[in-house]
Structure 1
């Protein structure tokens, strides 16, 4: 089985916790991307990095059947590629997809969601506390994600142009703020602060190899078992 790994931003090897549990797999790991100045001051924007990962992943996929496996930014790229229903896709597996669909709890990825053809076997792994893949629909963090999608100090004109284009076309995720309900607004922003702190300080986005699910296995161990079952 061939596995194409789409890493997250500055990813030191999160998905090794999956591939190491699949003996005999041919693992091709793509170079990690950037989120503007993270981790490099003049790195490409998030959207540029996603498109680059998709191009490189498609080139590998053209060589033969493979499983797509992504984490965070890489998960967005991997599942975007899966949505094209390329004939060589065996399955797609995502850990903390920023565009994860609503899987029944009313939450989606912080960048919205995208459809994936039912013909593509897809598995999402998500911690309920991880705002990157489990974001309330009216979270102010969605607007922040929209504002920074093209953020890059390497090409600030493109970033400004993207924001102006979004303003002109109203291309924003619809976040409802009931300003006439100050208590509700306070709770809404308090939830956003707690979610942001979980991402920045508590490891809600990076603990998939340590935190366990109901069966006593970690998220990554369970994902490895699923990939073995589809291969």
Structure 2
């Protein structure tokens, strides 16, 4: 028996069957001792309760790390961790701190992250890797932990091109709730910001074809996140390949990775 600890994404309710990682846990049934971590899952007003005074991303991550360490210490079993989106950043923060000497008493055997905004280039399970996380590549994690990164190659949160101009506004992009009203207005505002950003950089970069390509592609990446479900429902589509070569969706792939340790 292992303990499978999941950390949900921005605005998701813990312990609700429909959240991304609880769907993974449901496929495992009684194979694991599942614990869905309680933490704010908040970036200011974008949180599970629509609270306009919700805590910041930094505070969500700080509390998430503290709660995660407590949950690991509370179980007698080996631990596998999973984070989705903001939850993956919590998992990463914990592992970065552990690599630097903290949480020496917290043993983790594997990490199965979904749509990690801090994913490193080259880490992708079930599909070739494209780009890396919009927040940049995370600092080193401890050696000896198996890592499975499930990344939709057209999800701009986890698979952004290295030179994407969206990296400059990553915090604003991730803070937007998929269910927020005014999506079209927000999209138009972000495009205006990108146009202004491009204008300030043209003089230094006009001769670089990749500069023009990056700005030409940016609205498509943004639209994929906001309107096309590339960061959400795409992980329920059979776009990945299992180790046996069968087409599976991201949720099935994650469950299969966790099952290796059950």
Residues 91, 183 of structure 1: alpha-carbon distance in 2 compared, 3 angstrom cutoff: closer
Gaps of 5+ in 2: 14-18, 124-128, 177-200
Q: 2:149 aligns with which of 117, 124, 127?
A: 124
1:33 and 1:79 mapped to 2: Cα distance?
Answer: 15
Residues 179, 221 of structure 1: alpha-carbon distance in 2 compared, 3 angstrom cutoff: same
1:143 and 1:193 mapped to 2: Cα distance?
Answer: 14
2:225 and 2:8 mapped to 1: Cα distance?
Answer: 17
Scaled by the length of structure 2, what TM-score is found? 0.71
**1:17 corresponding residue in structure 2:** 23
1:170-185 mapped onto 2 (5 Å cutoff): 178-181=204-207, 184-185=210-211
2:95 and 2:208 mapped to 1: Cα distance?
Answer: 42
Gaps of 5+ in 1: 152-175
1:2 aligns with 2:21: no
Using the TM superposition, give the Cα deviation of residue 68 of structure 1 relative to its aligned residue in structure 2, in angstroms: 0.8
Q: Is the 8 A contact 1:48 1:150 kept in 2?
A: no
Deviates more, 1:53-62 or 1:111-120: 111-120
1:226 and 1:204 mapped to 2: Cα distance?
Answer: 21
**1:46 corresponding residue in structure 2:** 57
Scaled by the length of structure 1, what TM-score is found? 0.80
Q: Is the 8 A contact 1:35 1:46 kept in 2?
A: yes
Deviations 1:66-86 (A, max 9, x none): 211110000111133234155
Deviates more, 1:115-124 or 1:196-205: 115-124
Deviates more, 1:47-56 or 1:183-192: 183-192
1:111 and 1:38 mapped to 2: Cα distance?
Answer: 18
1:93 and 1:229 mapped to 2: Cα distance?
Answer: 11
Using the TM superposition, give the Cα deviation of residue 149 of structure 1 relative to its aligned residue in structure 2, in angstroms: 8.5
Runs of 4+, deviation exceeding 4 Å: 146-151
Higher percent of residues as helix: 2
**1:210 corresponding residue in structure 2:** 237
Deviates more, 1:190-199 or 1:101-110: 101-110
1:148 and 1:221 mapped to 2: Cα distance?
Answer: 27
Using the TM superposition, give the Cα deviation of residue 184 of structure 1 relative to its aligned residue in structure 2, in angstroms: 4.6
Q: Is the 8 A contact 2:113 2:148 kept in 1?
A: yes
Deviations 1:73-101 (A, max 9, x none): 00111133234155421211100111000
Q: Is the 8 A contact 1:4 1:67 kept in 2?
A: yes
Q: Is the 8 A contact 1:106 1:136 kept in 2?
A: yes
**1:154 corresponding residue in structure 2:** none
2:107 and 2:255 mapped to 1: Cα distance?
Answer: 20
Aligned length, in residue pairs: 207
Deviates more, 1:85-94 or 1:2-11: 85-94
1:63 aligns with 2:74: yes
2:220 and 2:175 mapped to 1: Cα distance?
Answer: 25
Using the TM superposition, give the Cα deviation of residue 117 of structure 1 relative to its aligned residue in structure 2, in angstroms: 2.6
Deviations 1:112-152 (A, max 9, x none): 1122233111110000000111111111111112578999x
